[in-house]
Amino acid sequence: MKFKSDAVALDATDLEILEVLQKNARQTYTAIGKSLGLAHSTVYDRIKRMELHGIIKEYTAVINVEKAGAKNIIAIMTIFTDPKESNKVAEKLCEAPQIVEVYTSLSEELLIIAKVVAENQESLHEFIASSVAPLPGVLRIRTSMITKKFKETRLSIANNPKRLTLIKEKHNKIGENKR
């Protein structure tokens, strides 16, 4: 881990540790070290440093809500807003427990995209009508019900092109050292 002004730059080893943690954060430092060819003390120090600097925010359980018995519906709301009010609307949406994700997108116009979970269609309608539509700056709302889920994953450090470059550089340096 390197520091450049206030920014933290992760090296290939940090990224490999993060990738292992994202697959299974319950592993011991020794197990992580063994899988990466590192001492458990190195793994411990790097993880603690990443926690201290806010790179690792939390450890959590990912729950399959369907298998846990939840019978919810999921919808994606596209919310068209007055550009001057867009941030306020997005911040207000973040406060609602029914909304699990909020994004902004700038294409032809500024949009807010929100993923909402509701018990049923009636409760979804009630939530949109009473909590979203009346927000100052909301011009119109397009709601799309999710009818079938094909894939749902969390973002992973493994998908980062920068990580792949760093790993390649690390392996090239190891090969050079062996010569």
- 141 and 82 housed in the same domain: yes
> Is the same domain home to 14 and 38?
yes
CATH number at residue 43: 1.10.10.10
- Would you say residue 104 lies in a domain? yes
- Residue 137 pLDDT > 90, yes or no? yes
> Do residues 42 and 90 share a domain?
no
117 forms bridges with which residues in the sheet? 74
CA distance 102 to 2: 32
CA 159, CA 9: separation in Å to the nearest integer? 17
Closest CA to 23 of 152, 150, 157, 149: 157
Instruction: Give yes or no: residues 29 and 86 share one domain.
Output: no
Average pLDDT, the chain: 84
Determine the Cα–Cα distance for residues 132 and 89; give it in Å rounded to an integer: 9
- Got the DSSP string for 82-103? -TTTHHHHHHHHHT-TTEEEEE
pLDDT digits (tens, 9 = 90+) for 30-84: 999 999 999 999 999 999 999 998 999 999 887 777 777 777 899 999 999 998 9
Residue-wise pLDDT for 82-97, tens only, equals: 989 999 999 999 999 9
pLDDT of amino acid 35: 94
Q: Give me the domain span that covers residue 41.
A: 8-62
Local confidence band at 179 (pLDDT 50, 70, 90 cut-offs): very low
Long-range interactions of 35-39: CB distance < 8 A, separation 24+? 38/13
- For the chain, how many structural domains are there in total? 2
110 and 131 co-located in one domain? yes
Which positions ≥6 away from 166 have C-beta within 8 Å? 10, 11, 12, 15
